[in-house]
Amino acid sequence: MTGKVRKVVFPAAGLGTRFLPATKAQPKEMLPLVDKPLIQYGVEEAIHSGIQNIIIVTGRGKASIEDHFDVSFELEHLLETKKKTDLLKQVRDISDMIDVSYVRQKEALGLGHAVLRARELVGNESFAVVLSDDVIVSDIPCIRQLLDIHDFYGASVVALMEVPPEQISAYGVVDAEPVEHAGANGRLFRVRNMVEKPKAQDAPSNLAIIGRYILVPGIFQSIEAIPPGAGGEIQLTDALKHLLRSRPIYGYKFEGKRFDAGDKLGFLQATVEFALRRDDLGSGFREYLRSLQL
Ligand code: G1P
């Protein structure tokens, strides 16, 4: 069954090793870009794309994610008595905006394995997956861009971005052919093959998969069918490759700017750009940066 996509899965059980020591006792999904945790950017993108049903795959030490999306009576009470209405609204909006469920991934066995843990909650329908490390700024939310392709073709869609050769080995990479599609302006591809974290010389193209997916429910059988791949993990890319044998998969070079906020440099870049965009901080921060005379 394809139909309207109602659910989005956030794998959030990873160990966050790229961001140690900050992530030793704190989930990387809760690292703040300016004043909002990474995962909230993804959740807001999903909501702005028309998806309210959020499934978070968590692991040990991730309780603060649940607390973040829960109601905080003490905090709300305090803000109410102090008449901090703006802050109260922000805090309430977080718990009001979504219907969230959690499922545990007991061992970090890979992205494919994490997605499989959401099977019961997803059921037999197409769903979205968001990797909250990938923060994307765009006029039309990236998930919405992919949904439009999914709704048209009734097939799985992955977000694509061109990356330089020296970085390609950090990604899932596709071999794909362009597809004519009204309004897509050369952004739409039909995937022929894909490989997880290839060596630069083996990469089939410069088109990397970025952490936004719309998946048909058949992906669950594919995840079950594949052996561990790169890094000894059950890879979502390998499952997609398996799915390709029986179902078409599309790739969409999304419009927007993506930050790899799971990487220290990418995180810093996102922080600077997000701060500069803020009405309340932008001008003061810009002045400060100028004063550094780099
Ligand atoms: C994951 C996926 C990879 C994808 C990447 C996008 O890798 O396995 O295919 O290209 O996300 O950010 P990770 O970054 O978790 O190693």
Q: How far apart are CA 41 and CA 49, in angstroms?
A: 12
What tokens were used for 290? 């100028």
Q: Report residue 190: phi and psi, to 5°.
A: -105, 130
CB of 238 shorter than 6 A to ligand 1: no
- Tell me the HSE value of 94 on the side-chain side, using a 13 A CA sphere: 21
Instruction: Give the list of residues 6+ apart from residue 48 with CB closer than 8 angstroms, or none.
Output: 141, 144
Q: Kindly report the number of other CB atoms within 10 A of residue 6's CB atom.
A: 16
Does residue 84 lie within any of the structural domains? yes
Cα 282 to middle of ligand 1, angstroms: 31
Give yes or no for a contact between 45 and 143, defined as CB atoms under 8 angstroms apart.
yes
Does residue 205 lie within any of the structural domains? yes
Does residue 291 lie within any of the structural domains? no
Query: For a substitution probing ligand 1, which of 131, 133, 223, 260 has the most ligand atoms within 8 Å of its CB?
Result: 131
| Per-residue pLDDT, 89 | 86
Does residue 183 lie within any of the structural domains? yes
Q: How far apart are CA 131 and CA 118, in angstroms?
A: 14
Residue 60 sits in a domain of what CATH number?
3.90.550.10
What is the per-residue pLDDT across 75-115, written as a single tens digit (0 to 9) for each? 888 888 988 888 888 878 777 777 899 999 988 899 999 99
Q: How far apart are CA 284 and CA 294, in angstroms?
A: 17
| Per-residue pLDDT, 99 | 83
What is the per-residue pLDDT across 201-258, written as a single tens digit (0 to 9) for each? 999 999 999 999 999 999 999 999 999 999 999 999 999 999 999 999 999 999 999 9
Specify the number of domains making up the chain.
Answer: 1
Cα 283 to middle of ligand 1, angstroms: 35
CB of 161 shorter than 6 A to ligand 1: no
Does residue 2 lie within any of the structural domains? no
Cα–Cα–Cα angle for 20, 238, 245, nearest 5°?
165
Does residue 256 lie within any of the structural domains? yes
Does residue 273 lie within any of the structural domains? no
**Residue of the CA atom closest to atom 6 of ligand 1:** 210
What is the per-residue pLDDT across 156-207, written as a single tens digit (0 to 9) for each? 999 999 999 999 999 999 999 999 988 889 999 999 999 999 999 999 999 9
Q: How far apart are CA 117 and CA 66, in angstroms?
A: 17
Instruction: Evaluate if residue 3 carries a pLDDT over 80.
Output: no
Instruction: Evaluate if residue 1 carries a pLDDT over 70.
Output: no
Q: Report residue 30: phi and psi, to 5°.
A: -100, 0
CB of 172 shorter than 6 A to ligand 1: yes
Burial class (CB in 10 A: 0-12, 13-18, 19+), 139: exposed
277: left (phi over 0), alpha (psi -120 to 50) or beta: alpha
Instruction: Evaluate if residue 28 carries a pLDDT over 90.
Output: yes
CB of 135 shorter than 6 A to ligand 1: no
CB of 171 shorter than 6 A to ligand 1: yes
CB of 29 shorter than 6 A to ligand 1: no
What is the per-residue pLDDT across 131-151, written as a single tens digit (0 to 9) for each? 999 999 999 999 999 999 999
pTM: 0.94
Instruction: Give the list of residues 6+ apart from residue 283 with CB closer than 8 angstroms, or none.
Output: none
Domain range spanning residue 111? 7-262
| Per-residue pLDDT, 2 | 53
Does residue 270 lie within any of the structural domains? no
